[in-house]
Structure 1
Amino acid sequence: MELILYMDRYEGFHEFVRSRQQSLMRTAYLLTGDPHLAEDLLQTVLTRVAAHWGKLAKGGNPEAYARRALVNQTISWRRRRRPELPAAELPETGGHAHDEATVRRLALLGALARLTPKQRAVIVLRFYEDRTEHETARLMGVSLGTVKSQTHYALSKLRALTPVEVYR
């Protein structure tokens, strides 16, 4: 009698998703600025990760692949959809008081949404995920010079779009 061992081609994938899902979701949200779109983005990317899981699990880096796919898919979607940009001013609160941190966060999220997809990706990877310029270039599939120039332009645009009080 021959013993045939069945190997699940997704072995380890479920553990990867459980351990990295929250971190990847935060990145997806920061890239898209919309919680529902972030969920769609992450689902699309995890489907791709699953399709390549055998190769990634053996010798690849599934997290790096997933993060690069998040950036690439966001840029691809933004090129196709051209979503409306949020208003430059904060909406009326209807009498609800917000603390300073909330107002700063809302102003910064509004400014982030007005960046180009590449600029937003650079800002998220460099400053939120604390990646080096080299890591950011590798994850985005661009040159180091592109990362530096996109960072410069993005920071300049953020400074122009947000009030000085946001940085205090």
Structure 2
Amino acid sequence: MDDESDTGYLDYVNGRIPALRRVAFLLSGDEHQADDLVQETITKVYAKWPRIAQVENVDAYVHTMLVRAFLDEKRRGWWRVSLRDVPPERPAAATPGMEDREVLRAALGRIPARQQAVLVLRFLCDRSVAEAAQLLGCSEGTVKSQTSHGLAALRRILGDRVGGGR
């Protein structure tokens, strides 16, 4: 890439990292995994920047890349085991409202990745059905059905915690 293209890439990425990290954290529920997802995404963006810079809606394109990186990560599954010679860091002390977030995060982690992505995009990132469909590369009907199935799964998982269960 030439210097002008590098400058455009750096300007774009520096302005978007907080938003990308927020979405990645909402999808993954883990700060370190969120950082990995953002790093993977911005690396791919750099490799394709001259072409991406010409896209009409760069933000939507990059968010699609981020969501797909998350879904790919979920598909890789079990073999991505981290072997360490020291125990992992302890989680931070709980703050008010933290328990509810942890319960929701745990419940989201128990539903299929596609449903998880749809629910995060729709309700935590406040995306419309059309925007979520575009980011996920599927139809609006699929987003609606995945939302319905995901919410039903969360209700089953959370049961009494959300007002009585069934």
Task: Measure, in 2, the Cα distance between the counterparts of 1:30 and 1:152.
Answer: 19
Letter in 1 for 2:155: R
* TM-score (ref. length: structure 2): 0.81
Task: Measure, in 2, the Cα distance between the counterparts of 1:41 and 1:64.
Answer: 16
Letter in 2 for 1:27: V
Number of matched pairs: 150
Larger Rg belongs to: 1
Give 2:4's match in structure 1, choosing from 5, 8, 18: 8
Residue 70 of structure 1 aligns to a residue whose secondary structure is helix
Superposition RMSD in Å: 2.2
Task: Measure, in 2, the Cα distance between the counterparts of 1:98 and 1:36.
Answer: 20
Question: Aligned-pair distance for 1:120?
Answer: 0.9
Give the structure 1 partner of residue 153 of structure 2. Answer: 157
Give 1:124's match in structure 2, choosing from 96, 120, 124: 120
State whether residues 155 and 162 of structure 2, in contact with CA within 8 Å, keep that contact through their aligned partners in structure 1. Answer: no
Letter in 2 for 1:115: I
Give 2:106's match in structure 1, choosing from 107, 110, 115: 110
Q: Deviations over 1:12-46 (max 9, x none)?
A: 21121121111100111111122111111110110
Give 2:21's match in structure 1, choosing from 22, 25, 49: 25
Question: Aligned-pair distance for 1:70?
Answer: 1.2
Give the structure 2 partner of residue 87 of structure 1. Answer: none
Letter in 1 for 2:66: L
Matched, 1:39 2:35: yes
Q: Structure 1: state its 5+ residue gaps.
A: 1-5, 85-95
Matched, 1:134 2:130: yes
Task: Measure, in 2, the Cα distance between the counterparts of 1:156 and 1:62.
Answer: 33
Distance change >3 Å, CA 107–CA 8, structure 1 → 2: same
Matched, 1:73 2:66: no
Task: Measure, in 1, the Cα distance between the counterparts of 2:5 and 2:79.
Answer: 37
State whether residues 137 and 147 of structure 1, in contact with CA within 8 Å, keep that contact through their aligned partners in structure 2. Answer: yes
Task: Measure, in 2, the Cα distance between the counterparts of 1:40 and 1:97.
Answer: 24
Distance change >3 Å, CA 25–CA 46, structure 1 → 2: same
Identical counterparts, % of pairs = 39
Question: Aligned-pair distance for 1:165?
Answer: 4.1
Question: Aligned-pair distance for 1:154?
Answer: 0.6
Question: Which deviates further from its counterpart, 56-65 or 29-38?
Answer: 56-65
State whether residues 37 and 69 of structure 2, in contact with CA within 8 Å, keep that contact through their aligned partners in structure 1. Answer: yes
Question: Aligned-pair distance for 1:77?
Answer: 1.5
Give 2:56's match in structure 1, choosing from 47, 51, 60: 60
